[in-house]
Amino acid sequence: MRDRKHLGYRVFEVLVCEFARRIPRRVTCLLAASLISTAALAQSTQQTVTGDSDKSLDLESTKPPFQLGEHLLHAKELSGDWDGTRKKLETEGVSLRLYYNQQFQQNFRGGLDTHNGHRLSGSYDVQLLFDFEKLDLWDNAGFFFGFKGTWSDGINPNKVGALSEVNSDAGDDHPVFLNKWWYWHTFLEKRVEIRAGRIQTQKDLFDTSVYANHEDKDFINRGSFRNPTIPHRNGLGAFVKVEPVPWLYLQTAAVDAQSRARRTGFDTAFHDEDRFNGYLEIGATPKWSTAKGPMPGRYRVGGWYDANPKTVFRDTLGGRREAGQRTGDVGFYAGVDQMIWKENEKSDDSQGLGVFARYGQGHSDVNRVSQYWQIGTSVRGLAPTRDQDVLAFSTAQLILSDRYGDEVRPRADRETIYECYYAWQATPWCIVSPHLQFVTNPGGDKDDRDAIIGGVRVRIIF
């Protein structure tokens, strides 16, 4: 009977050892040791509690009872520290993060259709980082993997009809895929950084904002956190960043111009055409001295080169003449983020009020959205005792090309997005964000019906 009781544990131990034989030794030893010790501790604890009553009382008197509710309220991640395994892995150079995002949106008024104008959609992201220095391979280097999965589409395609996606995280039903990966290395006391692999120019590298940068954390409308005049790409490429002084940087990248989502990129980056987009950005990150400590800012200007051929806007007279194409398009952008009020004197405290703005422009003969601007404000810790909550508001406008209006669509004008959200940190691992959007001329035509969209997001960190 005793052998049967421990049979499952012995099988588990054999499986763990076999798994350890097939993956890197340093990582496996930590995983195996933690899993086996945890199982053994569970067996020991069960025997002690169900055994002699005096020994059980002694154990409870020396070990405080586990408070599940208290753990869930204060843990940084929902899954906790994995009985110390997470911390051991990070010490040894392996970091794993899992994020779950769920959204609900409703088109209350205007747009294309309000009937059944609601959707539940979501995504999950897995991030895996290997620090080669901690793994005793080589210094100042590592490898990053980012996986993503989505389900359900949003309300924009057939309910709102806006130029800018009202739910930028909606991606239809797609299983998890390797969204981005790269090798990174730093030199000269981390003043020079290089990345090579499948890199993402938006959100990670160019025109990034402290207050409006990500659909899961900040605003959810794509026009509220991404400049549509920049031809952002997610594909095979290389990135270099140089910081000659702590407050100044210069960065550039070349990325496959024909990359497609949920593809490796090798089928487009290394074939006959070999088209690559180029990006260049120079920026300053000063910290203005005030009575309550430094207030950080981020100022940037940049330019881009798009190698893809683009159709020139021209009235074809019903197909009787060709519109023509042009390659080698260029444009520029600028952005600013600045904290203007701070609540506390601590240098690392982010509570306070910040403002941000963006601008971008491209050639009007080949770009439907030829100009874009955005202004907004964000405040952290506005309500008493709610130090990590964020309230933010943004106004953004997509201005359609005059050439496009003259030659192709006479009623073309502009689309304006007003968005407000409140991020309530229910626990360190759960953030609930209701949001409201007002979109004028969704689609950019003068005759389009203004739309009002509301919803709520839930972000869980595992």
Label residue 191 exposed, middle or buried (CB < 10 Å: 0-12, 13-18, 19+).
Answer: middle
**Cα–Cα distance between 30 and 141 in angstroms, integer?**
21
- CA dist 259 and 266 (Å) reads 9
**Which helix (H) or strand (E) covers residue 74, if one does?**
helix 68-74
Whole-model pTM: value is 0.83
pLDDT in tens, 175-225: 899 999 999 999 999 999 999 999 999 999 999 999 999 999 999 999 999
pLDDT tens track for 310-364: 999 998 888 788 888 999 999 999 999 999 999 888 877 889 999 999 999 999 9
CB 439 within 8 A of CB 416: yes
Contacts of residue 330, defined as CB under 8 A and 6 or more positions apart, other chains included, come to 303, 304, 305, 306, 362, 363
* Mean pLDDT, the chain, integer: 86
433 pLDDT more than 60: yes
| Dihedral of alpha carbons 153, 159, 161, 167, sign | negative
The tokens for 19 are 């798994």
- The answer to which of 26-35, 185-194, 362-371 has the lowest mean pLDDT is 26-35
Residue 327: CB atoms within 10 A of its CB come to 12
- Please state, in angstroms and rounded to a whole number, the distance separating the CA atoms of residues 151 and 159: 18
